[in-house]
Amino acid sequence: MRLEILYEDEDYVAINKPAGVMVHKTPLEKDPSTLFAVQLLRDQLNQHVFPLHRLDRPTSGVLMFAKSSKAASILQPAFAGNGIKKFYLAVIRGYAPESHGFIHQQLAKDLNGIKQEATTEYWELSRTEIPMASTSRYPSSRYALLRAYPHTGRMHQIRRHLAHIRHYIIGDSTHGDNKQNKFFRQTFGLKEMLLHAIELRFIHPKSGEHTLVKAEIPEYFTATCKAIQLSIPPQ
């Protein structure tokens, strides 16, 4: 697999990570066919790269690396704070509670159950209602397209926050709605999760310039939205 490079300079490089590709190896991943972004990009550029943040395995979109440990140490603190702005697109079950709103819900950091403050801001971009029953409860089904911005960087934050308000991301097998996932798999052939990191903004540490990196929406994402008549505004 050859990764799509969205941005590159002497210190940093950003790719459009495909869904299903992990950022780097973990002891828990035993499948020999699994692809890792760090390894793929290292081989593609013929040099070591250092991931500056993470994207969940089923999430596609902008993923940024440094080309040296020094460059990583300079920019990485911005990812831990609010210096980096990351925006996502997500297709959810139902309509958002508000056209623009916030989800404030503490999230456990790890299996120890220690909770951290977490805030996700969202904007509803479009909505649809299709004359098909995704469950036996209603004769039609409603969905919406959100633009989401996590003000904090907790594990699976957007997925867990939307699950908390019961507007599950379509295709999310961990925090989503299994009935909805089955409906989309059987009706539209969707195997992926509809969460895409579409945009990343940062101030370049050398030039001081505001830098914008955008990732094209995957074909399966746009095809599914078209199938349920959910419009995607220009990004």
CATH number for the domain including 111?
3.30.2350.10
**49 pLDDT higher than 80:** yes
The answer to whether residue 232 sits within a structural domain is no
Among 32-36, 55-59, 210-214, the range scoring the smallest mean pLDDT is 32-36
Conformational region of residue 208, where left means phi above 0, alpha means psi within -120 to 50, and beta covers everything else: left
For the chain, what's the residue count? 235
CA dist 6 and 18 (Å) reads: 13
Q: Helices (DSSP H) in 173-218: which residue ranges?
A: 178-188
**25 pLDDT higher than 90:** no
The answer to whether residue 117 sits within a structural domain is yes
CA dist 140 and 93 (Å) reads: 12
pLDDT interval class at 30 (50, 70, 90): low
**1 pLDDT higher than 60:** yes
**151 or 138, which is more confident?**
151
pLDDT value, residue 29:
62
DSSP class of residue 194?
A: S
The separation between the first and the last C-alpha atoms of the chain, rounded to the nearest angstrom, is: 26
The answer to whether residue 105 sits within a structural domain is yes
Which residues are annotated as catalytic?
56
Candidates 195, 235, 199; CA nearest to 218 is: 195
Task: State mean pLDDT over 32-58.
Answer: 93
Residues 6 or more apart whose Cβ sits within 8 Å of residue 154: 107, 109, 116, 118, 160
Residues 6 or more apart whose Cβ sits within 8 Å of residue 202: 64, 75, 78, 83, 84, 85, 210, 211
The answer to whether residue 55 sits within a structural domain is yes
The answer to whether residue 192 sits within a structural domain is yes
* Residue 78 domain boundaries: 4-227
Please give the helix or strand (H or E) that residue 91 lies within, else none. Answer: strand 85-93
Number of domains making up the chain: 1
CA dist 185 and 175 (Å) reads: 16
Q: What is the pLDDT of residues 165-180, one digit of tens each?
A: 999 999 999 999 999 9
